[in-house]
Amino acid sequence: MLGIRFSINNPLLVNLSLIIVIVIGVIAWYSLPQEIFPTIELDMISINTTYEGASPAEVEQQVSLPIEEEFEDSQDIDYISSTSSEGNSSVYIKLKPGSDVDDFMAYARTLLDSVGDLPELADKPELLRLRTRFPVITLTLYGGISHAEMYRLAEDVRHQMQQIPGVANVSMAGNRQWELWVVVDPHELAALNISLDRIMLSLRNNLRDQPGGSIKSSEGDIRLRGKGVAPEPAFIEDIVLLTNANGGQLKLRDIAKVSRRFEEAQTYARFNGKPSVNLIVTKTSEASTIEVSRRVHELREELKRSLPESVMIGLHTDMSTYVKTRLNVVK
């Protein structure tokens, strides 16, 4: 009764309090994270290093193992694993439960700066904390055009999608990269007494840039760098394998054929029964699923007007639909 009497005697205060509660509720509603699956930060970090032109064995011996050795004495580490592939090293460090990941990240940066025996041609190691992100929406390109043209258009669309505010990453599925194939005649190799290792060494030395030292001058040091051969069949075929005292040259074209082909398919994608390329969007932790999805839908309408008529665009796995449904339940 006391509450009712107070409300009757102070209508202005009660109405003002009600308005304040409504305003706070509206603000809280719009500030709520609109998520079904939030970003999860793992107690795990990765160290990625690019070493172009190096074989998996070279990457392991010269990059992966030296980095692993730097972390051997750390007490916070549960285990270390690494993957060494052609031109790339990935080292994964799993921390023990309860470890302070931010402190370890700072410690790891200090250790990586002290690694002094990495190859000169290797890029600076990139340190990242692993996060689990769920896709927001998938845009699909499909139609009756060549694979090469489809992959080119998909790469252009991918760059446009990466410019959308709130988009963290756009991964592709169903696409294939170009590869350079060098097909050697074994009979020619035997006749000229040339080994495959010699050809691989010549390709490795000519395809990548090489450091050339520096020149000291009054204005400062001038760094020199040798430019490698352009990765095109016509230029690669002109690589010189051997020379003789008379100035004669044996070029790669004399014993091999160089061509560009698509790599073997790693993933296959189909949409409405036709081969496709899927562009899978993940967002930043601060962005709204609904807003990112809306902007992808807007981009789709723009692409319909700019892409060839034979290219069709589909959308699927739109998580904003489920977010909206759950928000309506909360309302």
Q: Is the pLDDT of residue 108 over 70?
A: yes
Number of structural domains found in the chain: 3
What would the mean pLDDT of 99-111 be, rounded to a whole number? 87
**For a pLDDT cut of 90, what percent of the chain falls above it?**
10
Q: Is residue 220 part of a domain?
A: no
Same domain, 62 and 128: yes
Range picked from 11-20, 107-116, 175-184, 196-205 for highest mean pLDDT: 107-116
Quick: pLDDT tens for 114-166. 877 788 778 888 988 887 777 889 999 998 888 888 888 999 999 999 999 98
Average confidence score pLDDT of the chain: 81
Same domain, 312 and 243: no
Q: What is the pLDDT of residue 206?
A: 74
Same domain, 61 and 194: no
Q: Is residue 22 part of a domain?
A: no
Same domain, 64 and 91: yes
Burial label, 47 (beta-carbon count in 10 A; 0-12, 13-18, 19+): buried
Q: Is residue 249 part of a domain?
A: yes
**For a pLDDT cut of 70, what percent of the chain falls above it?**
84
Q: What is the pLDDT of residue 51?
A: 86
Q: What is the pLDDT of residue 158?
A: 92
The tokens of 215 are what?
A: 């020149």
**AA letter at 62:** Q
Same domain, 95 and 144: no
Name the domain boundary from 68, 101, 132.
132
CA distance 177 to 218: 46
CATH number of residue 103's parent domain = 3.30.70.1430
Same domain, 167 and 293: yes
Q: Is residue 107 part of a domain?
A: yes
Higher pLDDT, 9 or 259: 259
Helix (H) or strand (E) holding 140: strand 137-143
Number of C-alpha atoms within 13 angstroms, CB side, residue 73? 3
Quick: pLDDT tens for 181-235. 888 888 888 888 888 888 888 777 776 655 545 556 566 555 545 455 566 777 7
Same domain, 122 and 159: no
Give which of 204, 244, 166 is closest to 87, Cα–Cα.
204
- Each as own residue / partner, the long-range contacts of residues 244-253 (CB below 8 Å, 24 or more positions apart, any chain) are 250/192, 250/194, 252/182, 252/199, 252/202
Q: What is the pLDDT of residue 294?
A: 92
Same domain, 239 and 316: no
Q: What is the pLDDT of residue 193?
A: 83
Q: Is residue 236 part of a domain?
A: yes
| Residue whose structure tokens are 């990548």 | 208
Same domain, 168 and 184: no
Same domain, 44 and 127: yes
Quick: pLDDT tens for 46-97. 999 988 877 788 888 888 888 888 888 888 888 888 888 878 889 998 988 8
Same domain, 299 and 151: yes
| Structural domain boundaries enclosing 189 | 179-207+226-262
CA distance 305 to 273: 23
Confidence label for 274 from pLDDT (cuts 50, 70 and 90): confident
Same domain, 173 and 297: yes
What would the mean pLDDT of 10-19 be, rounded to a whole number? 78
Burial label, 41 (beta-carbon count in 10 A; 0-12, 13-18, 19+): exposed
CATH number of residue 232's parent domain = 3.30.2090.10
**AA letter at 109:** R
Q: Is residue 57 part of a domain?
A: yes
CATH number of residue 155's parent domain = 3.30.70.1320
Helix (H) or strand (E) holding 186: helix 186-192
CB-based contacts of 292: which residues, under 8 Å, 6+ apart? 136, 137, 164, 166, 167, 281, 283, 320
What would the mean pLDDT of 259-277 be, rounded to a whole number? 78
Q: Is residue 215 part of a domain?
A: no
Q: Is residue 325 part of a domain?
A: yes
